[in-house]
Amino acid sequence: MIPVGEFLPDGSAFGSPGATEAKNVIPAASSYRPLKTLMASGTAASGSRIQGAITLRSTDLTVKSYAGDATRLHGFDGAVWSDFSRTSGGAYSTPAQGLWRFAQFGDVCLAVNGSDAVQSIAMGAGANFAAQGGSPPAGARYIAVARDVVALGRDGANSNRVSWCDVENLDWTTGAADFQDMPDGGQILGLFGGDNLVVLQERCIRLGIRTDYPLTFTFDKISQDKGCLAEWASAQFENLLFFLAHDGFYLLAGGQQLQPIGAEKIDRFFFEHPEHGVDLNSLHRVTGAVDPVNKLYVVSYPSVGGGTGLPDKALIYHWQLGRWSRAEFACDLVLSAMVQSSWNLDNIDTLIGNLDATSLSLDDAAFTGSGRLFLAAFTPSHELGFFNGGTMAATVDSGETQITPGRRTLVTGVRPLVDGAAASVALGTRNRLNDPVAWSPAVAMNDNGLCPARRDARFHRARIAIEEGEAYAHILGVEPEFKPGGTR
């Protein structure tokens, strides 16, 4: 068997344990699992691009969803979206390169957009957002909760400042409320909470250690010169913080341990691939989110080949396995979201259309409701959706190998090792490593599970393809049938 290896597009195709393609799949320990299609809710949150969203569970255990666009904030009741914008102060002015950021403090949802006053809403009873009292600095771009205080990053007048409220009190003028201007490292490009604060800057990373009054926080630099490149690509789960630096992707664990996760794997692919690489002129459209269920960090981005500056590609990182894959789907942004449970037999067609044609079972979280976080996205039509449809069309390459060492090999067939679905296989061959790869047409499996072929070459690789909607469990590799050839 020739196994499908880890997705390592930065490595050499020949002799590498990795694969150069793993599209629309999820990494597994020694295989790839299916990635499901994005199923939109059928109800648009807005008529314009969604620039930030969150789902929260209020103190009465109700799931609440909020989303913001350039001028408005919206709320979702489980069936329809409504305008939850402030009733005084006029339309919001979210920057085109900015996003809304949200945080929960008790039963209050707070929102910042880098331009307007901090907004808040009481999740249990609030019908509209309004300016938060307590004189928080206006124009904050980031928000995070560290234990019992709310911190704001990069307000309208100070790009290097972190401000925080009093302990257990949303007031920025009394008690332990204070601020800290970072003396170096450039502007703040991310703020994340937990037991402590993590401050991402252009050229460094700081840990804000929660202390006792009167200091509240002490800030230690934990990385010199290593900072953040794309502010919205960062994503946090528990004590894990994923972010994109100027030289690639990193994981900060426990606020202390900084490790590269894309080096010699996908970093060069992301920055340099002429088609699938990121559009560096549209870094503000790169967004990151975690999928806690599948232990994934997902980065949605606009590609060079897309040519529009709109997100159309994604990279997927399994943080327990340390393995990557990629995907192709369009969206406004990706996020982690909880499913709301207001679907019933009266409004179910809004979610799934034809009941007889849906791939969802009636015990799916879309109907039962769940406090679990799932990977979600807002579609280009600005509808919230989850990746719980049918399987995406998948493509995975095996590594390139010299099947008969020192000789050419005639491959007469390839058996794709796919658990649960029919697949087709194309063979890529070349006789010299400096030759371009010549691909055969894809051939479907016959009744014996073999994809017939006739390719005589020195170096071979296989491309496994599975059609959209085909149910399968794992893509494991290929088993070639062959005859050794000559040395020339």
Separation CA 340–CA 353 (nearest Å)? 18
Nearest to 394 by CA among 365, 425, 351: 425
Q: Do 120 and 160 form a contact (C-beta atoms < 8 A)?
A: no
CA angle 109, 110, 113 (to 5 degrees): 140
Query: How far, in whole angstroms, is CA 310 from its chain's centroid?
Result: 15
Tell me if 49 sits within 8 A of 332, measured CB to CB.
yes
**CB-facing half-sphere around the CA of 440: CA atoms within 13 A:** 26
pLDDT at 368 over 50: no
**What does the domain layout of the chain look like in residue ranges?**
2-34+392-484, 39-132+229-386
List Cβ neighbours of 469 (8 Å cut-off, separation of 6 or more).
Answer: 390, 391
Distance CA 50, CA 68 (A): 6
The pTM score is 0.93
Strand 2-3 with 474-484, pairing: antiparallel
Nearest to 92 by CA among 121, 117, 71, 74: 71
The helix/strand/coil state of 383 is strand
> Residue 83 in 3-state DSSP?
strand
Q: Is the peptide bond before 214 cis (omega within 30 degrees of 0)?
A: yes
Q: Residue 356: pLDDT band by 50, 70, 90 thresholds?
A: low
C-alpha dist (Å) from residue 441 to 427, 462, 470 = 8, 11, 20
Average pLDDT, rounded, for the chain: 93
Q: How far apart are CA 280 and CA 285, in angstroms?
A: 10
Residue 343 has pLDDT above 70, yes or no: no
Instruction: Please give the Cα distance from 427 to 415 (Å, whole number).
Output: 12
- pLDDT for position 407: 93
Q: What whole-number distance in Å separates Cα of residue 104 and Cα of residue 50? A: 20
Please check the confidence at residue 441 and state whether its pLDDT lies above 50: yes
Q: Convert the pLDDT of each residue in 6-43 to its tens digit.
A: 999 999 989 888 999 999 999 999 999 999 999 998 99
In CATH, which of 2.60.120, 3.90.320, 3.10.620, 1.10.3470 is domain 2-34+392-484? 2.60.120
Closest CA to 129 of 157, 90, 171, 99: 90
Rounded-to-integer distance, Cα 158 and Cα 145, Å: 20
SS3 367: helix
Closest CA to 197 of 173, 214, 174, 180: 180
Sheet arrangement for strand 197-201: 188-192, 197-201, 204-210, 217-224
Q: Which residue reads 């196994």 in tokens? A: 3
Q: What is the mean pLDDT of residues 439-467?
A: 96
Among positive and negative, which fits the CA dihedral 216, 222, 223, 228? negative
β-partners of residue 418 are 475
Report the alpha-carbon distance of residue 140 to residue 115 in Å, rounded: 7
**Using 50, 70 and 90 to split pLDDT, how confident is the model at 341?**
low
356: which residues sit within 8 A by CB, 6+ positions away? none
Phi, psi angle pair for 100, to nearest 5°: -75, 135
Decide if 73 contacts 66 (C-beta within 8 A): yes
pLDDT tens by residue, 288-320: 999 999 999 999 999 999 999 999 999 999 999
DSSP 368: H
**369 pLDDT higher than 80:** no
Helices (H), 261-300: 267-272
Q: Supply the pLDDT for residue 421.
A: 83
The DSSP element (H or E) to which 352 belongs, if any, is helix 348-352
How far, in Å, are 89, 119, 152, 162 from residue 136 at the CA level? 16, 10, 8, 11
